[in-house]
Amino acid sequence: MGNRDAPSRRGGNRSLPPPPRGKRVHWRGVPARVRERIESEIGGRVVRASTRGTGFSPGLAAILETGNGRRAFVKAVGPELNSQSPEIHRREIGIVSRLPPDPAVPRFLWSVDEGPDGWVALAFEVIDGRAPAMPWRHAELRRVCQALSALTDRMTPCPIDLPPDRELSAAFATGICGWAKLAGGGRQELREGPEQGPEQALDDWCRRNLDSLVRLEAAAPEAVKGDSLVHVDTRADNLVLTDDQVYVVDWPWARRGAGWVDCVGFAPSVEMQGGLDAEQLVGLFPHARAADPDRVTAAVAAIAGYFTWQAAQPPPPGLPTVRAFQAAQRVVARRWLAERTGLR
């Protein structure tokens, strides 16, 4: 009886959320001057372009093939499509151009940058693979978890130098802190509407426990400190599978922090996409099993607050499904947090 108002499993994995999809620009939709620079880098005229349909970034995301057989996977975007996306590409260039070779990270090839008001493109070796099947298949999910755990081992200690503002703790202190934003008066900014998912953005459980949620979240910046390079955005659409390898793509948000944070951030998306319960999923990762449970709970609290806040914001230009996708993760993360804390 006392639990009837707490978040439940009703939104966890019964139906899949909208696919992660940005508004893609096909090769011929890229400005001619940018196409020319890309072809110069590839070393030939592009005769075939296969657009990748999944993933949230707007702009070009395609395998390009030249008449002389050269291939590259290229992402490119300009500020007219989304004002923030060029800088996100620059951030990724700053990470992948310095990473040591790793079997789980596609090899970075080159980049093109027109400057603050122009387009940015970056290219990688082509991986002839596929995204994980949705809903998640148990054997495939276990294979991915093993690969991610091994990647964390290789990324510890952090293999590249990062400035203080690229510490994971800084992100949790200033951005992944939705409960604090709500407690600070942000609740008036929340949208209401069915597009947010099966629960309202701020329901009775959230209102009743908001002070406790803010306190839990406040411990997260210290809890997530560590010396691993953490991807931060691990989801099925950022994974590519081949017969013998799991690749992790899209690295713009990478930061230095505790290695177990990636699996905690991964867990809500896995459950909402038909995979394991979030707590079971985290149990597959040795780094999380070895972590202080209170630190993990603080991170779960922050992630639940992040999705609660983000899902209630207007959709960014070029990313029509991102808020519904975040709302589905919000449902899982809040239920998971209620179970870990006993908050009713």
In a shared domain, residues 164 and 253: yes
Q: Examine the fold and report which residue of 124, 157, 180 is the final residue of a domain before the chain moves on.
A: 124
Tell me the pLDDT tens digit for each residue of 250-267. Answer: 999 999 999 999 999 999
In a shared domain, residues 43 and 120: yes
Rg (CA), the chain: 20
Nearest to 65 by CA among 44, 92, 90, 88: 44
Q: Is there a domain that residue 306 lies in?
A: yes
Q: Is there a domain that residue 36 lies in?
A: yes
In a shared domain, residues 223 and 134: yes
According to the model, what pLDDT value does residue 192 have? 46
In a shared domain, residues 50 and 153: no
- Indicate if the pLDDT at residue 273 is higher than 80: yes
Please name every residue paired with 247 in a beta bridge, in sequence order, or none if there are none: 240
Q: Is there a domain that residue 5 lies in?
A: no
In a shared domain, residues 140 and 173: yes
Q: Is there a domain that residue 18 lies in?
A: no
In a shared domain, residues 253 and 156: yes
Q: Is there a domain that residue 3 lies in?
A: no
Q: Is there a domain that residue 66 lies in?
A: yes
The domain of 38 spans 27-124
In a shared domain, residues 174 and 118: no
What mean pLDDT comes out for the span 36-61? 92
Percentage of the chain exceeding pLDDT 90: 82
| Tokens (6 digits) for 68 | 């002389």
pTM of the model: 0.91
Query: What's 150's domain CATH number?
Result: 3.90.1200.10
Mean pLDDT estimate for the chain: 91
Q: Is residue 10 very low, low, confident or very high in pLDDT (cuts 50, 70, 90)?
A: very low
Total structural domains in the chain? 2
H helix or E strand, kind and range, residue 122: strand 120-124
According to the model, what pLDDT value does residue 54 have? 76
Query: What's 41's domain CATH number?
Result: 3.30.200.20
**More reliable by pLDDT, 203 or 250:** 250
Q: Examine the fold and report which residue of 124, 144, 165 is the final residue of a domain before the chain moves on.
A: 124
Tell me the pLDDT tens digit for each residue of 274-312. Answer: 999 999 999 999 999 999 999 999 999 999 999 999 999
In a shared domain, residues 156 and 109: no
Q: Is there a domain that residue 4 lies in?
A: no
| Tokens (6 digits) for 129 | 């693979």
In a shared domain, residues 202 and 306: yes
Contact criterion met (CB below 8 Å) for 247 and 127: yes
In a shared domain, residues 103 and 143: no
Ramachandran angles phi, psi of 248, nearest 5°:
-110, 120
- Indicate if the pLDDT at residue 146 is higher than 90: yes
Amino acid at 77: V
According to the model, what pLDDT value does residue 57 have? 79
| Alpha carbon distance 227, 234 (integer Å) | 18
